[in-house]
Structure 1
Amino acid sequence: MLIAAALPTTAVAQPDAAQAARSSVAAEIRAQVGGKYKDFYGPRGYWPLWVDKDRIGPQADALLALIEDSEADGLDPRDYGARDLRRLIEQADAGGDPKALARADLALSRALASLVADMRRPAKGVKIRYLDKEVEPRDADPSDILRGAALAPSLADYVQNAGWMSPLYMRLRSARATYLKTWADLPDSAVPEGVKMRPGGKGEAIAVLRHRLGLADGANYDKALAARVKAFQTDHGLKPDGVAGAMTVAALNEGPARYERLLALNLERARLLPGPWIRHVVVDAASARLFYYGKGSLDGTMKVVAGAKETQTPLMAGMIRYATLNPYWNIPPDLVERKVAPRILGGGTLKGLRYEALADWSANPAPLAQSAIDWDAVAAGRQEVRVRQLPGGSNAMGKVKFMFPNDLGIYLHDTPQRDLFAREDRHYSNGCVRLEDAQRLGRWFFGKALAADGDKPEQHVPLPQAVPVYLTYLTAVPTAQGVQFLPDVYDRDGE
């Protein structure tokens, strides 16, 4: 049996110099702190947040850099007192005086709390429906903000990456800066329309195109112009073929101001999303993609099928509370009118189609015989009947749906219709979100594979812990090269 060697008595009795220094700073913080900041410092023994040994640590540099760049967030850097913070840091680092270190630590904490609250505050112009209290925006308490920062494995990284903001927001924020440097300062001159411009060509219209894209004067469609056109097409959601066709010219003639406005609008949409330390799901209906986050990073992503233009996936946020295995599909009344009724009138049967008709929309409705329904009236829109598809391999819900209760009947679900995921445009649903890999998302929700207990329909399985889900709409998205503008399928960018 091994026995641990006893520690030298000096190691037990005497703390190291760094700990002693921080203890002195803690005593000064206790003497200086007040108000809501005491709620943060008190439970941690007034231990400093920003002090490393007897100096202010590099996390302060990260905060100052973020403050100085806060115009990118629509904020005024002067509101956070960067000049005063630098002075306090210099005074603290000059001699390691505990009182000066405490003043600097408290000032940095106040600046961080103020900056985070302002960055998280949603703009008034972006509307999203909140289904649950848990996801409604609220003014964060400084102690909660600082506690979240203190729990991060690296405070410097947390501040530098603004870990309280969605990674989608931060990537778009960075991409916006690159975009503005690349495209915003170019001449805003109109490119002639209706003129064929392609590599190898020459002419006056091409000279205007070169000027518009910031290239040297000339009239030749050379390799440099083709490369520049491709870059513009890539960043503006167009096919990057290097040919200045009608769509490319139209995008050029929109002018930089429109794209700057779109970037600002999409940043405000992304601002509503939580940071990655909150376990959550994001569905971007514009790009038809889903992202899920936890423990500070992106855990995974997948394709989805989102609502068609006529049946849009709404902007909303709620709490996914349970999964339903072997689900029914309650067919929307308009589809019963347009799809089901004509098939019945054409000789089909509810049983053969694996449908059943019900008397009402209650939890335990009585079944209706096919013969008891006036299908001509249903097909004409004069009568409405509830019809649902039975569970099984052909069920439109697939094997599972993930529920965040709402009166619009929107949820995430499996699907047997796999061919749609191979398409670039994936806007075909009735508003719900069809998942490329529902089983993978289920394993992330539950920590294990989901399996139904037999063939019984509608088996409800509560999540171990409810997970927030955000349905958003980002028509400007970050890419590895910068930013890309996507088609405004739902015509929401002009709202």
Structure 2
Amino acid sequence: MALLFWSQRSADHEGSPLRSALAGEVRDAPAAVEAFYRSRDFEPLWSESAGHWLLRPRARLIPEARLLADRIARTIPERRSGLSAAIGAARSGDVGDVARAELLLSLSLSDYRRRLHHSVAPARLAWLDPALAPPSDSAGVLEEVARAPSRRRYLDVIDRVNPIYDALRQRLASYRATWSRLPQTRITEGAMLATGAQGGRVSALRQRLGLPATTGMPFDAALASAVETFQTVHGLPVTGRADAATIAALNRGAAHYERLIRANLERARALPTSFDGRLLFANIAAARLSIVEGGEIRSTMRIVAGSPAMQTPAMAGNIRYAVFNPYWNVPVDLVRDRLAPHVLRRGPAYVASRNLELLSDWSEAPHRLDPRAVNWRAVARGDVSLRVRQRPGGGNEMGRVKFMLPNELGIYLHDTPERSLFGQEQRWLSAGCIRLEDAERVTRWLLGRELPDRARPDQRVDLPRATPVYIAYLTAAPTEDGIVFYPDIYRRDPALLAAMGGA
């Protein structure tokens, strides 16, 4: 028997039959996949040698291979028959059949991972830091598997969804149970309906919100309360009166809002799966930022985000350092579109009145330019590019601190002297960066120290460790006990719904 059956240890060496068979199979695979297996000397991911039987080498799939095949088949139905056939053939123990099943699993894995976590184009994030981005190609996914502590652990991790996605999925079910079950009665347009009103439109409104609608029943306190609840959930000013905007939202019907929830599930799918560490999460559609630790929201604050003309992008990056008492480098388009016209109207003295300085270039040691020597008409036309920065101080647009997440988009988080902006409902007013309602709180949380009253100009302070910041655009978001819709201020929903086939 010793001649007929060798142990796995004796068979599982460099140049083993399984590795040889796998080397033959990957020759026709995509180049990146072949390179991955070649780099590990064709050591398999989903199979192992199983000794010899009757002088023939044997192999088998590891249990995680069948688990992966089942999950892929459920998620990607078009792969089901091919995987089933390959897994069935591999039960023979033939090293060629096992190698073919191994390769098919590896080729299918990247599609499976993409189906779980990659969204359609309008919902995707800009990944500013490669360390945060999920792998997007087959080789990257396979390298991720190889680095994992175990195959089972890897499969459990990639199957996870982030808590926002999971909560939204639950809220979709609760929305259907609460709002979709109500009569979708259409309410004719007309004057605002408020307490004391009567008539057919009031009866239709009562029916639409699930209240008794006997002819002649008035707009009473119960209806006002139901209208307030609808307004709260659907992102409308909460007045308890059925104005034109409220009637329009009611007439869109629950199916419209279900589609919006599914669209925002697609946006949430693009977010990283883990919220377990320390991170900042901003929802631009809500104009709010949350401080998150261990998966729990520790505090929230209002923010001012980019205007519809200068939108804040959906993105994920790492804050690596703060700058106390910062300069503000005025974006080139603002110099062209705002500063130059002001100077042309008010004269070169306007530059000094705004505590601005003009610099010759973007080097470390530029020289200052005299505003009187600049051709401001050429700047306004865009024919001349001019570097302008605002000196540190009380009126500086950056306030007392800015938090830097290196990126080519010029987006970061910062303080602001314009405190009144946070009292406004419409807070989409910036040039793309995020202004913080409480920069002092963020400073304490990120750096473990107070924001200094005085600091030297442009004083850089590195964070003890890089902290992720996820900037999303969710027009439907979960709350503790339900869901709330936000205005599509950037008009991004139609393109996303179209990409999803109308959801």
Q: Same fold (TM over 0.5)?
A: yes
Match status 1:129 vs 2:130: no
**Could you tell me whether the CA contact under 8 Å between 2:357 and 2:368 is conserved in 1?**
yes
Cα distance in 2, alignment partners of residues 380 and 118 from structure 1: 45
Corresponding position of 1:197:
193
Cα distance in 1, alignment partners of residues 358 and 159 from structure 2: 50
Consecutive unaligned residues of structure 2, counting only runs of 5 or more, are: 1-43, 48-70, 80-108, 136-140, 496-503
Give aligned pairs, total: 384
Cα distance in 1, alignment partners of residues 222 and 355 from structure 2: 60
Match status 1:402 vs 2:422: no
- The 3 A distance-change label for structure 1 pair 246 and 452 is closer
Corresponding position of 2:212:
216
SS at match of 1:134: coil
User: How far apart are 1:119 and its partner, in Å?
Assistant: 9.4
Match status 1:181 vs 2:177: yes
5 Å matches for 1:353-432? 353-432=354-433
**Could you tell me whether the CA contact under 8 Å between 1:163 and 1:277 is conserved in 2?**
no
Deviations 1:47-80 (A, max 9, x none): xxxxxxxxxxxxxxxxxxxxxxx9xxx979xx9x
5 Å matches for 1:77-226? 121-125=117-121, 126-138=123-135, 141=145, 143=149, 165-219=161-215, 220=217, 221-226=219-224
User: How far apart are 1:145 and its partner, in Å?
Assistant: 9.1
Cα distance in 2, alignment partners of residues 118 and 228 from structure 1: 42
User: How far apart are 1:241 and its partner, in Å?
Assistant: 2.4
Cα distance in 2, alignment partners of residues 212 and 287 from structure 1: 27
Match status 1:236 vs 2:234: yes
User: How far apart are 1:338 and its partner, in Å?
Assistant: 4.0
Task: Indicate the percent of aligned positions where both proteins have the same amino acid.
Answer: 45
**Could you tell me whether the CA contact under 8 Å between 2:195 and 2:241 is conserved in 1?**
yes
Instruction: Please report the TM-score for the alignment, with normalisation by the length of structure 1.
Output: 0.69
Letter in 2 for 1:191: I
Letter in 1 for 2:343: I
Deviations 1:224-280 (A, max 9, x none): 333322221221111232322211111011121210011111122223333331322
Cα distance in 1, alignment partners of residues 115 and 168 from structure 2: 14
Deviations 1:128-156 (A, max 9, x none): 21122112123564647976999xxxxxx
Letter in 1 for 2:133: E
Cα distance in 2, alignment partners of residues 364 and 164 from structure 1: 50
Letter in 2 for 1:130: W
Cα distance in 2, alignment partners of residues 190 and 203 from structure 1: 15
SS at match of 1:133: coil
Corresponding position of 1:476:
476
Cα distance in 2, alignment partners of residues 243 and 352 from structure 1: 47
Match status 1:446 vs 2:447: yes
SS at match of 1:317: strand
Corresponding position of 1:320:
319
- The 3 A distance-change label for structure 1 pair 417 and 490 is same
Cα distance in 2, alignment partners of residues 119 and 218 from structure 1: 50
Cα distance in 1, alignment partners of residues 262 and 322 from structure 2: 36
Cα distance in 2, alignment partners of residues 122 and 291 from structure 1: 24
User: How far apart are 1:197 and its partner, in Å?
Assistant: 2.9
215-224 or 458-467, larger mean C-alpha shift: 215-224
Cα distance in 2, alignment partners of residues 441 and 359 from structure 1: 34
SS at match of 1:443: helix
- The 3 A distance-change label for structure 1 pair 223 and 134 is same
196-205 or 384-393, larger mean C-alpha shift: 196-205
5 Å matches for 1:2-17? none
Cα distance in 2, alignment partners of residues 451 and 310 from structure 1: 34
Instruction: Please report the TM-score for the alignment, with normalisation by the length of structure 2.
Output: 0.68
SS at match of 1:494: helix
SS at match of 1:467: strand
5 Å matches for 1:248-397? 248-274=246-272, 275-345=274-344, 346-347=346-347, 348-397=349-398
Letter in 1 for 2:174: T
427-436 or 361-370, larger mean C-alpha shift: 361-370
User: How far apart are 1:286 and its partner, in Å?
Assistant: 0.8
Letter in 2 for 1:404: L
Cα distance in 1, alignment partners of residues 328 and 229 from structure 2: 45
